[in-house]
Amino acid sequence: MEAKINQTTIMLACGDITAETTAAIVNAANERLAGGAGVDGAIHRAGGPSIMAQCRKIGGCPTGQAVITTGGNLQAKYVIHTVGPIYRGGNRNEANLLQSAYRESLKLAVKKNLPSISFPAISAGIYGYPVDEAAHLALKTCIEFARENTGIRLVRHILFNQQTYEIFFSEFKKLLSTGAMEAK
Ligand code: AR6
């Protein structure tokens, strides 16, 4: 499923983010940029040790912020490492922090003049964010960003399994039906 907002196409797809050919892929990292399981582990495995060497130099990333390294052996030229919130019930500023993680990643892509970016479902795995809420916030933030910023042509949301894809699909449809956006 995809929709075009101004100059930006926002697209949902099922798959493994390490195979993406967008200019950047986003990593759902931790504050120490120390690597881990989930998508973080997969990106470091596929990209090779040069990514971790750059992460060590950067030293860390607060929740809701984003930093950039090169993509190592990945097809994507860059990895944008962002840190989503750990879900602790929903009253600990999680929604703002999750939106900030998406927004800061998009801002970094614009700053670097990158035309395309792929996101995983940040915080929706080990960090425990309910997938429907995470999907709503992810898509809302990207739609709002595309309305207000030009430069990024393609934003892909890469969902690791069919169930997560279906949830993103349904949240995307809801958001599109409430706004004047062309969907196909
Ligand atoms: N491609 C796309 N999506 C993936 C992939 C992949 N290769 N692998 C997993 N996912 P998670 P978080 C999905 O746990 O919740 C790490 O240890 C996964 O199914 O990777 O933000 C970090 O170091 C889920 O839908 O990230 C942090 O400590 C989504 O990616 C912590 O986990 C996010 O799941 C971050 O937790």
List pLDDT tens digits, range 46-60.
999 999 999 999 999
How many angstroms does the Cα of residue 120 sit away from the middle of ligand 1?
Answer: 7
Task: State what percent of residues in the chain have pLDDT above 90.
Answer: 96
Owning domain of residue 20: 2-178
Q: pLDDT grade, residue 152 (50/70/90)? A: very high
Alpha helices, DSSP H, located in the chain: 38-47, 49-58, 94-111, 131-148, 162-177
Please check whether residue 69 lies inside any domain of the structure: yes
pLDDT at 62 over 90: yes
Give the residue, by CA position, lying nearest to ligand 1 atom 21: 123
Average pLDDT over residues 2-16: 97
Which one-letter DSSP state was computed for residue 21?
Answer: -
Ligand 1 binding residues, C-beta < 6 A: 16-18, 28-30, 36-40, 42, 84, 120-127, 158, 160, 164
State which amino acid sits at residue 162.
Q
Ligand 1 atom at shortest distance from the alpha carbon of 84: 21
How many angstroms does the Cα of residue 116 sit away from the middle of ligand 1?
Answer: 20
- pLDDT, one tens digit per residue, over 67-120 is 999 999 999 999 999 999 999 999 999 999 999 999 999 999 999 999 999 999
* Number of independent structural domains in the chain: 1
Burial label, 64 (beta-carbon count in 10 A; 0-12, 13-18, 19+): buried
Please check whether residue 163 lies inside any domain of the structure: yes
Catalytic residues: 40
Give the CATH number of the domain where residue 174 resides.
3.40.220.10
Please check whether residue 165 lies inside any domain of the structure: yes
Q: What is the pTM of this model?
A: 0.97
Task: Using alpha carbons, select from 162, 166, 163, 122 the residue that is nearest to residue 142.
Answer: 122
pLDDT of amino acid 181: 52
Please check whether residue 73 lies inside any domain of the structure: yes
Please check whether residue 21 lies inside any domain of the structure: yes
Please check whether residue 183 lies inside any domain of the structure: no
pLDDT of amino acid 125: 98
Query: What is the pLDDT of the chain when averaged over all its residues?
Result: 96
